[in-house]
Amino acid sequence: MIARRVLSTEDVVRATKGILLNGDMGITFSGVTTDSREVEPGFLFFALKGKRFDGHEFIKEAIARGVKGAVVERMPDYLRWDDLPRDVSIILVKDTLFALGELARYVRSLDSYKVIAITGSCGKTTTKEMTYQILSKFYKCGKNEANLNNLIGVPMTILAQDRDKNWVILEIATNSPGEIARLTEITNPDLGAITCVYAAHLEGLKSLEGVLEEKTSLFAKMKEDGTIVYFYDQENLRERAKNFPQTKISFGFEKGADLWIENFEEVEEGAKISLVWSEKKKEVLAKLKGRHQVLNLSASIAIALGTGLEFEEVCEKIPEIEEFYSRLKVIKTENLVILDDTYNANPGSMAVALEYLENFPKGDFRKVAILGDMKELGEFAKSAHQSIGELAGRVADFAIFVGEHAEDYRAGFGKGDCFTFETTQALLEALKQGKIDLSRCVVLVKGSRAMEMERVVLALLEGGR
């Protein structure tokens, strides 16, 4: 990713508390990049280290491509001082990833726009996109694209923002303790929202309490005069929210939520939703399907209300939005309906997807769940897969389980009709050979990214059914 932002060497040294080893304070940069393949003449290159790469190995290449500066943790052995042009700034810092965040934090302090930070175990990307669509009806807005929600993507998004924005909407994510707190430090949000808290990333966060602690660190690190938005129906989150001093707005299906979803009904055009806010009731028609999408929309409306908009004016705009963002795609062929939710999976999002399958009209079709492993669950993996398998057993007429935890899924599923495969490739071979008949079925396909379940969707569409 690149971020076009004019900065001086002095700005970078001040923000990162770095030491200038080469060049001078007056050298300016036209943008920032963390990828030597995307450098442009005049850019500043951050030499980040990852599990499979080290940006320090590409400093010479970046300089050859015209960068005017590099932020480094060390000088690589292959690079001699005599090789460095005098008009290229080399800035030494202790940790280049931390320094990138500090530069974004510095830039954020210079700009006048306000920030919305959204996190949660599932629904955060959809809520971010819905919020952006709603607020763009009233304000000039920015957002982080795709999945740029981590300690690299969020700072780069901040660095890329135009200064004339009113609101910047950021999804922030985590898989280990401290990341949400750090992203909150960097972004300094005026409004923070938590969509939900479920067991996810348990290898790093250890337990549901660990997930709750990590997610609510957004509220703990926010400015006290800000606004926090949260899912009312989860008692642990509701009780934890009471501890924070910010203005609070809750949303949910349970009566007692500030923004209460009193009722919703799926109709041909989407969903007809009854919302109650401060004793005011509104019926809105939204072009979306499913209880989970109604909940994501209510989170987005609650966020919009937190920016100071009126309930009536927000509700009036909902029918104007042509298509709400959804990762779950419904693909229909003559003899097959595929519910493609292959982006990722954790126990919370699996439960939501199975609920969608349960409520999906099937006619005389069978309902089938093809579920791949849920990763990063640590010691909870066995019980989590069994629990989801049990839920699938209540929803699906037939199931296919894939991965090292396929037998755990099966144990929960019970005596129902199902197949198990150790790998996605093994399932693909069975489909190719015609061993599984999925004609006249509504098929949910879901699993963690590592399972590559999108290959199953392609196989089904190419005739592997």
**Model pLDDT, residue 328:** 84
**Model pLDDT, residue 465:** 42
Q: Do the beta carbons of residue 36 and residue 62 sit within 8 Å?
A: yes
CATH superfamily membership of 2-95 = MurE/MurF, N-terminal domain (3.40.1390.10)
**Model pLDDT, residue 202:** 59
Q: Do the beta carbons of residue 71 and residue 96 sit within 8 Å?
A: yes
**Model pLDDT, residue 464:** 44
Q: What is the DSSP string of 21-62?
A: EES-TT-EESEEES-GGG--TTEEEE--B-SS-BGGGGHHHH
Residue type, 320: E
**Model pLDDT, residue 200:** 61
* Interatomic CA distance for residues 199 and 158, integer angstroms: 29
Quickly tell me which residue has 């991965």 as its tokens.
Answer: 403
Matching fold, domains 2-95 and 111-320: no
**Model pLDDT, residue 203:** 64
**Model pLDDT, residue 263:** 95
**Cα angle 248, 130, 310; round to 5:** 50
Q: Which of 101, 112, 126, 93 is nearest to 187 (CA)?
A: 101
Structural domain spans, the chain: 2-95, 111-320, 329-461
Whole-angstrom CA distances from 281 to 254, 273, 311 are 15, 10, 9
Could you please state the CATH topology (level 3) that the domain comprising 111-320 is classified under.
UDP-N-acetylmuramoyl-L-alanine:D-glutamate ligase (3.40.1190)
**Model pLDDT, residue 208:** 75
Q: Do the beta carbons of residue 229 and residue 237 sit within 8 Å?
A: no
**Cα angle 75, 79, 81; round to 5:** 85
User: What does the DSSP 8-state code read for residue 214?
Assistant: H
Residue type, 391: L
**CATH architecture of the domain with range 329-461:** Alpha-Beta Complex (3.90)
Quickly tell me which residue has 């590099």 as its tokens.
Answer: 70
- Long-range pairs, 320-325, Cβ under 8 A, ≥24: 320/137, 321/133, 321/134, 321/286, 321/287, 322/287, 323/287, 324/126, 324/129, 324/130, 324/133, 324/286, 324/287, 324/288, 324/293, 324/297, 325/125, 325/126, 325/129, 325/130, 325/133
Residue type, 253: F
Q: Do the beta carbons of residue 20 and residue 8 sit within 8 Å?
A: no
Whole-angstrom CA distances from 235 to 240, 252, 350 are 8, 11, 20
Q: Do the beta carbons of residue 276 and residue 258 sit within 8 Å?
A: no
**Which residue ranges of the chain lie beneath pLDDT 70?**
199-206, 464-465
Q: Which residues of 177-191 are buried (b: 16+ CB within 10 A; e: fewer)?
A: eebbbbbbebbbbbb
**Model pLDDT, residue 193:** 98
